Amino acid sequence: MSDGAAFPDGEALPLGKNPLMAAREAQRMTRQQLVDGVNTYICKRDGNNSAHLMTVGRLGKLERGESKVPRGALVQEALLHVLGRRSHAELGWPEPCSGATSVRDRSGLAAEPRADLDAILDEATSGVEQAASITEARTVSSTALHSYRSRLARLSVEFVHRPAEEVGPKLLALWKDVSMHVKGGLRQHQGREVYLVAGMICVVLAHLCHVRGRPHDGLVHAEAALLWAQDSGHRELLGWTLGTKALLTNSTEGAGAALQLIEEAKDTLRGSPRAGSGAVRLACYEARFSAESGQRDRGLAAIRASEDAAEALDTIGTSDLDVIGGILSLGEPKRASLCADPYLRLGHAELAEQHARAAIDGYLAGPPRQFSYGDVALSQVTVAWARLSAGELDGVLDAVRPVLALPYPQRIAPVRDQLDRLADVLSTRRFLGAAAAETIRTEITNFRRPSRAPLPM
């Protein structure tokens, strides 16, 4: 299609067809392509005026003869332009009358020009259809809300034990369904529930960005989740989202900025009637970021706080996010895995290995749907680090080999980063000439070179 392209003079239209349809087919355009071209022309001339925009349904009525003339002079002008026609007659329409043209009544006096009633009704019908579709988007049935929550719960669990490439497309489809209501504007009594679901979806999307190694994109989702958590008035989601933002901020700005967000998240959860496992998670993150920034006492205190918060769950009960489960909850194996890292950084290699082993054993003993391949892999690497601190190179190799055997879709960014750090340390002067160190470095390099390309997101 080209702007302003015209038929050569005298070119005949195919017989037996509506002139509009024949002109479109002569341009080798689908109905959607013609509608897109018309709407682009209209938007350039008149802005995004929904009262003027063409739809495939209205074009179909014109081509079937159910509507004789497109509503509105601008739509007619756009169709002529896109189809390369010069006159209304070429598309089977009557030529427009001048605004000054009048008819005479029985008295012989000039009367007002007759309005094109069909065009008026077409425009009115279009406007009502548009308004009704917006109202429909603002109305969310209880069945739809239940479906959205069920799909979110299923995907949140799948996130833990299925490759990201499998979860991503389903999560995007769910977001598109829910965002239709958010974009359309929600009725006040339904806004809270829809914003809550939208916020939780964005938190899962933020974590998907984290395991993909895209923290800046993850922060976009986290900020959106914060907005909808505030609109829904859900303090638990707000606190959880701040924790997710802290995790991503640790990658972009460092532990100091992440700890500031953790403090804000803790203050938020203190006002929640049921903080749930979110309080455990924040304590684990605080321990990790404190250890990374060299705050030994704060890190060890945060580990103890995570233990206390985990014990309190039996009394407090489950929270809304814990009911969803999966990546939006935190069990004991995950807590042990998260606490192993700060123990290692704070010089407690033996405790680090104990917690990492407890995490691995906990996941292996639990149901398959709760098995987190990412946390198990990170715990295995923590075991390797603990053994390296003791000078046990053979033990390091034994610990990382299950990780190096992971299929490509499960080689998430946090695992790759940890293995790269390990390879860097094994490349230092201290380990030069050590056969085991060379083997580990070579296998990590091969780990970075998959035998096949990753699936597209």
pTM of the full predicted structure?
Answer: 0.70
pLDDT of residue 110 exceeding 60, the answer is no
Q: What is the pLDDT of residue 190?
A: 66
How far is Cα 454 from Cα 457, in angstroms, rounded to an integer?
9
pLDDT of residue 104 exceeding 60, the answer is no
pLDDT in tens, 196-241: 999 999 999 999 999 999 999 999 999 999 999 998 889 999 999 9
Which residue would you say has higher pLDDT here, 66 or 266? Answer: 266
Q: What is the pLDDT of residue 71?
A: 74
How far is Cα 54 from Cα 29, in angstroms, rounded to an integer?
15
How far is Cα 2 from Cα 50, in angstroms, rounded to an integer?
24
pLDDT of residue 153 exceeding 60, the answer is yes
Asked whether residue 61 falls in the same domain as residue 169, the answer is no
Which residue would you say has higher pLDDT here, 108 or 388? Answer: 388
How far is Cα 254 from Cα 293, in angstroms, rounded to an integer?
9
Q: What is the pLDDT of residue 203?
A: 96
Asked whether residue 163 falls in the same domain as residue 228, the answer is yes
Asked whether residue 68 falls in the same domain as residue 198, the answer is no
The residues, ordered by sequence, that sit 6+ positions from 321 with a Cβ below 8 Å of its Cβ are 200, 236, 237, 240, 276, 277, 278, 328, 329
The residues, ordered by sequence, that sit 6+ positions from 372 with a Cβ below 8 Å of its Cβ are 160, 161, 333, 334, 363
Q: Does the residue 216 lie in any domain?
A: yes
Q: What is the pLDDT of residue 293?
A: 97
pLDDT classification of 26: cutoffs 50, 70, 90: confident
Q: Does the residue 342 lie in any domain?
A: no
Which residue would you say has higher pLDDT here, 451 or 124? Answer: 124
Q: What is the pLDDT of residue 11?
A: 41
Q: What is the pLDDT of residue 143?
A: 86
Q: Does the residue 160 lie in any domain?
A: yes
Asked whether residue 173 falls in the same domain as residue 33, the answer is no
Asked whether residue 255 falls in the same domain as residue 322, the answer is yes
Asked whether residue 172 falls in the same domain as residue 275, the answer is yes
CATH number at residue 204: 1.25.40.10
pLDDT of residue 307 exceeding 60, the answer is yes
pLDDT of residue 68 exceeding 90, the answer is no
pLDDT-wise least confident of 75-84, 327-336, 366-375: 75-84
Asked whether residue 322 falls in the same domain as residue 365, the answer is no
pLDDT classification of 185: cutoffs 50, 70, 90: low
Which residue would you say has higher pLDDT here, 298 or 86? Answer: 298
The residues, ordered by sequence, that sit 6+ positions from 217 with a Cβ below 8 Å of its Cβ are 209
Q: What is the pLDDT of residue 187?
A: 56
pLDDT classification of 272: cutoffs 50, 70, 90: confident
Q: Residues 264-281: what's their mean pLDDT? A: 91
How far is Cα 30 from Cα 80, in angstroms, rounded to an integer?
16
Q: Does the residue 116 lie in any domain?
A: no
Q: Residues 287-296: what's their mean pLDDT? A: 98
Q: Residues 302-319: what's their mean pLDDT? A: 89
Q: Does the residue 111 lie in any domain?
A: no
Asked whether residue 165 falls in the same domain as residue 197, the answer is yes
pLDDT of residue 275 exceeding 80, the answer is yes
Asked whether residue 273 falls in the same domain as residue 375, the answer is no
pLDDT classification of 316: cutoffs 50, 70, 90: confident
Q: Does the residue 105 lie in any domain?
A: no
How far is Cα 416 from Cα 389, in angstroms, rounded to an integer?
20
pLDDT of residue 45 exceeding 80, the answer is no
How far is Cα 97 from Cα 182, in angstroms, rounded to an integer?
44
- Written in H, E and C, the secondary structure of the chain is CCCCCCCCCCCCCCCCCCHHHHHHHHCCCCHHHHHHHHHHHHHHHHCCCCCCCCCHHHHHHHHHCCCCCCCCHHHHHHHHHHHCCCCHHHHCCCCCCCCCCCCECCCCCECCCCCCHHHHHHHHHHHHHHHHHHHHHHCCCHHHHHHHHHHHHHHHHHHHHCCHHHHHHHHHHHHHHHHHHHHHCCCHHHHHHHHHHHHHHHHHHHHHHHHHCCHHHHHHHHHHHHHHHHHHCCHHHHHHHHHHHHHHHHHHCCHHHHHHHHHHHHHHHHCCCCCCHHHHHHHHHHHHHHHHCCCHHHHHHHHHHHHHHHHHHHHHCCCHHHHHCHHHCCCHHHHHHHHHHHHHHCCCHHHHHHHHHHHHHHHHHCCHHHCCHHHHHHHHHHHHHHHHHCCCHHHHHHHHHHHHCCCHHHCCHHHHHHHHHHHHHHCCHHHCCCHHHHHHHHHHHHHCCCCCCCCCC
Burial 398-420 (b: 16+ CB within 10 A, else e): ebbeebbebeeebbbbbbbebbe
pLDDT of residue 138 exceeding 70, the answer is no
For the chain, the domain total comes to 3
How far is Cα 441 from Cα 438, in angstroms, rounded to an integer?
5
How far is Cα 313 from Cα 22, in angstroms, rounded to an integer?
70
Q: Does the residue 397 lie in any domain?
A: yes
Asked whether residue 146 falls in the same domain as residue 280, the answer is yes
- Which of 59, 91, 123 is a domain's end point? 91
Q: What is the pLDDT of residue 137?
A: 58
Q: Residues 316-341: what's their mean pLDDT? A: 93
Which residue would you say has higher pLDDT here, 423 or 91? Answer: 423
Asked whether residue 198 falls in the same domain as residue 265, the answer is yes
Asked whether residue 296 falls in the same domain as residue 397, the answer is no
Which residue would you say has higher pLDDT here, 348 or 100? Answer: 348
pLDDT classification of 96: cutoffs 50, 70, 90: low
Q: Which two tokens stand for residue 434?
A: 């050590």
Which residue would you say has higher pLDDT here, 255 or 177? Answer: 255
pLDDT of residue 419 exceeding 80, the answer is yes
Query: What mean pLDDT is reported for the chain?
Result: 85
The answer to whether 195 touches 232, Cβ cutoff 8 Å, is: yes
Q: Does the residue 251 lie in any domain?
A: yes
Note down the domain range covering 304.
141-330
Which residue would you say has higher pLDDT here, 327 or 66? Answer: 327
Provide the percentage of residues in the chain whose pLDDT is more than 90.
56
